[in-house]
Amino acid sequence: MKEIKSLPVPLRNDDLNIPLAERKTIASLETGDCRWPFGDPVEPDFHFCGKSKTGDGPYCQFHKRRAFQAARPRAIGHWPNAA
């Protein structure tokens, strides 16, 4: 049986484009670097954002907004199994 290799996941249009020279590996990450991962950890092109973190969190301002989005209001509806 032939092994099917997964296709690389393209960057989303709203994602940061990290130049090759600025990409961080797990070995090159420093204390103040953004830990937003890109790609599959088993692939050689896996890297982290590496931009400057903001506040106490692990991400830069851009990825902080992507990771922590406000909850959407839920519609009040009929709950058939509610007591």
Query: Domain residue spans in the chain?
Result: 22-68
Average pLDDT, the chain: 80
Q: What is the pTM of this model?
A: 0.64
Overall average pLDDT of the 46-65 stretch: 91
Q: 43 pLDDT band (50/70/90 cuts)?
A: very high
Q: Half-sphere exposure (CA, 13 Å, Cβ side) for 61?
A: 0
pLDDT band at 71, cuts 50/70/90? confident
Rounded distance, CA 23 to CA 25, Å?
7
- Structure-model confidence comparison of residues 82 and 72, the more confident one: 72
Q: How confident is the model at residue 18 (pLDDT cuts 50, 70, 90)?
A: confident
Chain centroid to Cα 35, Å, comes to 8
**Ramachandran quadrant class, 26 (left: phi over 0; alpha: psi -120 to 50; beta: rest):** alpha
